[in-house]
Amino acid sequence: DEDDACPKTPRGSQVDAVGCFFAGALNGVKFEIDSAKLLPESKILLDGVAQELQKYPRIVVEIQAHTDSTASEAYNLDLSYRRARSVRDYLVSQGVEMRRMVPRGYGESEPIADNRTKQGRKLNRRVEFKILAK
């Protein structure tokens, strides 16, 4: 703990490579096809995120949702925003204050893989957390 960038991180917390609250892509947050409805396994994962956020009451995060490019750009932008809101709403239901989370949909605008392949599209459908304030 004394050797990392965030020395007051509670023991047992999910942290990044430098010992700070984890931010970035959260693998495993999935939704029903063409929907913002979270799948049950996603809720289990988000329960852990809620617990971590409750350990850090000053952290404000942007919930970033991304899609693949299989629908129109406008549709994907709307779908990604609805998905980000769905994640935020679930975290609120688990005790995280709404004011600490900003949902934002990016649609297909920031791919991390090739949308021409099934695997690439799967990777592009993701949720990320960005810390806005500590």
Instruction: Report the sign of the C-alpha dihedral through residues 106, 38, 101, 22, in that order.
Output: negative
**Residue 86 CA: distances (Å) to CA of 13, 51, 114, 120, 127:** 24, 17, 26, 23, 11
Phi, psi of 91 (to 5 degrees): -65, -35
Please give the radius of gyration of the chain, using alpha carbons only, rounded to the nearest integer. Answer: 15
Please tell me whether residue 21 adopts helix, strand or coil conformation: strand
- The pLDDT of residue 114 is 97
Judge whether 131 and 86 are in contact, CB under 8 Å. Answer: no
Locus of tokens 């939704």? 31
The DSSP bridge partners found for residue 60 are 133
> What is the set of domains in the chain, with CATH numbers?
24-133 (3.30.1330.60)
The share of the chain scoring above pLDDT 70, in percent, equals 82
Task: Decide if pLDDT at 2 tops 60.
Answer: no
pLDDT digits (tens, 9 = 90+) for 45-98: 999 999 999 988 999 999 999 999 999 999 999 999 999 999 999 999 999 999
Residues 16-27 have a mean pLDDT of 63
* Ordered strands of the 101-107 beta sheet: 24-25, 126-133, 60-66, 101-107
* Proportion of the chain above pLDDT 90, given as a percent: 72
Q: Please report which confidence band the pLDDT of residue 9 belongs to, taking 50, 70 and 90 as the band edges.
A: low
3-state DSSP percent of the chain in helix, strand and coil, to 5: 35, 20, 45
Q: Is the pLDDT of residue 20 over 90?
A: no
